Structure 1
Amino acid sequence: MAEIKVETSADSPAVLHSPHASTQPNNPLSRKLNKILETRLDNDKEMLEALKSLSVFFTENSLRTRRNLRGDIERRSLSINEEFARLFKEVKEELEGVHEDVQDMSTCCDEMTNRLKAAKDQTQDLIVKTNKLQGENHRLELRAQVAQAFLDKFQLSNEELSTLRGPRDAPITENFFKALSRVKHIHEDVKILLRTNQQTAGLEIMEQMAVLQETSYEQLYRWAQNECRGLTQETCDISPVLTQAMEALQDRSVLYKYTLDEFGTARRCAVVRGFIDALTRGGHGGTPRPIEMHSHDPYEVMRPIVL
């Protein structure tokens, strides 16, 4: 093979020199060599990637391997394409399986949609009736709430009724006065109904509260009368409950007057009994001595009375 040399001058590009041929600027071989020599591999990324891939399997640089390089590249390309085809076939089979599953799901969804539509058509009347009943139920609940609010405002609870309608000898407690006060408020508030179209209900409630008031005042009067009659010399003071009872009886002037008379009588009897005891018996255990023992001394007679 002829020796080929490449020389580069300052004024001209690389020129090929051969001992058997003269310079031929238009020689195709020269142009190809010049193009190869002028190529900068640093900027050719595709060439670098190709050489990098080639270095993976081209490990031995010999005459035989260089001659078989093209065949090796073609066989490797064929092997890669076959592997790609095999993998792509698996992907295709998987996608076909997914497609079949999606088709089955779509069929099931269509069947369910048809069944739901048929069920909806069959139960349309039931749905209409259910909605109607729900609306009626809502209206009834609203009426029940209004009725309950009406009862809470214009009626007594069972506990309050049992307190006001207790036995004749039942003791009077704080709950009795609370229930009586509520009866008075209801009797006043029910007058609002008389100015509306609920006059019948208003009159009935007013009559009911009036009866309860009279019954309660009678029971309170009897209890206060018994309490006044039970006053003695030792327990002549008025208890807080009796004071509250007299305050409540002021709404019934007649009963209040009778209660005061009863209390005055009991008080007078207690004072008289106390004076007689002081006059004849003296104090507890004989101290101080009876007043009649000092009848000869007016000062000693008047001193315990004044004190």
Structure 2
Amino acid sequence: GSSSSSSSSNKLAKLASTLSDHNAAIDALASFGGLAENTSRSRKGLRHDIEAKSVRLHRSFLEEFAKVECAVRGIEAVVNTLQAACDKSADELRHSRLKTEATLEQANRLREQRATLQHKQKLLDTFLIKFKLSDQQMETITNTDLPIDSHFFAALHSLEAIRDNARVLLASSRQHTAGVDVLHETSEILEVAYERLFVWVQQKYRLMG
């Protein structure tokens, strides 16, 4: 009894559900219009309505897709702009690095050149001290208006020391020419010094006589 009643209830529920789905389908079809009666004209109208709605849906889809495509293109443009900016920044950084490296290399070369010049200047100063009289010493020896005094003999002593240093250069194959040049230049100065000294001795001798 109870099982038969339950089975009947289930069948009624299924039937109600089927009728509900059928009614929903009918309502959906009715929304297209022209389904008042099952005639050839109404069926054509239904087909026309379905095709028209399909076209509208397709057009709407294309419009939405176009919007999405436009948005994607906009994003691509932004990405390309950012990529170009990054590439430009990278190029500028690379150029700046190369320029900095070139500047540092030039600075190193200048420091090396300055060190070389300073070394040469020291060598030149040493050479001048050993192989050349100062301007004041030259004036003391060659200017006949100046007296023969301790300054003269000090300058003459320096001249003789220079000539001794030049003779040392003569012993070196690499500096032989420099030694010859120094002796040649100082020989004339030495001759002037001896002439002045000779005259001075004569004057002293006459005063004593």
Partner of 1:177: 153
**Letter of the aligned partner of 1:226 in structure 2?**
Q
CA contact (8 A) 2:169 2:175 kept: yes
Unpaired stretches in structure 2, ≥5 consecutive residues: 1-91
Partner of 1:141: 118
**Letter of the aligned partner of 1:160 in structure 2?**
Q
Alignment of 1:227-238 (within 5 A): 227-231=204-208
Instruction: State the Cα distance separating 1:158 from its structure 2 match.
Output: 0.9
**Letter of the aligned partner of 2:106 in structure 1?**
K
User: What secondary structure, in the 3-state scheme, does the structure 1 residue paired with 2:115 have?
Assistant: helix
- The whole-number CA distance in structure 1 between the counterparts of 2:93 and 2:159 is 61
Q: Deviations over 1:139-194 (max 9, x none)?
A: 11101111111111111111110100112x43111010011111112112211111
The alignment covers a number of residue pairs equal to 117
User: What secondary structure, in the 3-state scheme, does the structure 2 residue paired with 1:172 have?
Assistant: coil
- The whole-number CA distance in structure 2 between the counterparts of 1:116 and 1:144 is 41
Larger gyration radius, structure 1 or structure 2? 1
TM-score (norm 2): 0.51
**Letter of the aligned partner of 2:152 in structure 1?**
F
Instruction: State the Cα distance separating 1:119 from its structure 2 match.
Output: 4.2
Unpaired stretches in structure 1, ≥5 consecutive residues: 1-114, 232-265, 267-307
Q: Which of these residues, 188, 197, 212, is aligned with residue 164 of structure 2? A: 188
1:154 aligns with 2:131: yes
Instruction: State the Cα distance separating 1:202 from its structure 2 match.
Output: 0.5
Q: CA RMSD in A?
A: 2.0
Over the matched positions of the two proteins, sequence identity in percent amounts to 28
**Letter of the aligned partner of 2:155 in structure 1?**
A
Q: Deviations over 1:212-268 (max 9, x none)?
A: 22210110111221222233xxxxxxxxxxxxxxxxxxxxxxxxxxxxxxxxxx2xx
- The whole-number CA distance in structure 1 between the counterparts of 2:136 and 2:93 is 56
Instruction: State the Cα distance separating 1:120 from its structure 2 match.
Output: 3.9
- The whole-number CA distance in structure 1 between the counterparts of 2:184 and 2:95 is 62
TM-score (norm 1): 0.36
Instruction: State the Cα distance separating 1:133 from its structure 2 match.
Output: 1.5
1:221 aligns with 2:193: no
Partner of 1:205: 182
Provide closer, same or farther for how the CA distance between residues 127 and 172 of structure 1 changes in structure 2, counting only shifts above 3 A. Answer: same
Partner of 2:104: 127
Alignment of 1:18-37 (within 5 A): none
CA contact (8 A) 2:140 2:146 kept: no
Provide closer, same or farther for how the CA distance between residues 166 and 116 of structure 1 changes in structure 2, counting only shifts above 3 A. Answer: farther
- The whole-number CA distance in structure 2 between the counterparts of 1:185 and 1:154 is 8
- The whole-number CA distance in structure 1 between the counterparts of 2:95 and 2:162 is 59
- The whole-number CA distance in structure 1 between the counterparts of 2:99 and 2:157 is 61
